[in-house]
Amino acid sequence: MVCHECGRTIEIEIPGLEQWIDKAAKQLKYQTIAHELEIFDLCPKCAAKHAIEPPLSVGTSPKDGPLTTPDDTGRRRSNK
């Protein structure tokens, strides 16, 4: 994960990702040479500067409807 603001980077494990990539490559008749996945987000420190609520835990959904993110004008927009 890469912080979109300060650039702080941490590695995360995504269980089953390697197997999924291998399976997809075989189905599409591609030979995997290398792959890279970057997720851009805000680290807790940068999110706190913008008063952004902490993220939901993996596998949960919001109780108040779809996930939304603040845009540059402070309005809320849907991630759909």
What are the start-end ranges of the H helices in 1-80? 17-27, 44-49
Q: What pTM was estimated for this model as a whole?
A: 0.51
Question: How many whole angstroms separate alpha carbon 77 and alpha carbon 25?
Answer: 35
Backbone angles phi, psi at 69, to 5 degrees: -130, 145
With 70 as the cut, is the pLDDT of residue 43 above it? yes
Give mean pLDDT, residues 7-34.
91
pLDDT tens, position by position, 1-20: 999 999 999 998 889 998 99
Question: How many whole angstroms separate alpha carbon 38 and alpha carbon 2?
Answer: 7
Domain of 8? Answer: 2-78
CATH number for 26: 3.30.1490.190
Question: How many whole angstroms separate alpha carbon 69 and alpha carbon 56?
Answer: 13
Q: What's the number of domains the chain is made of?
A: 1
pLDDT tens, position by position, 47-70: 888 877 666 655 554 454 444 444
Quickly state the pLDDT bin for 80 (edges 50, 70, 90): very low
Classify residue 20 by its DSSP letter: H
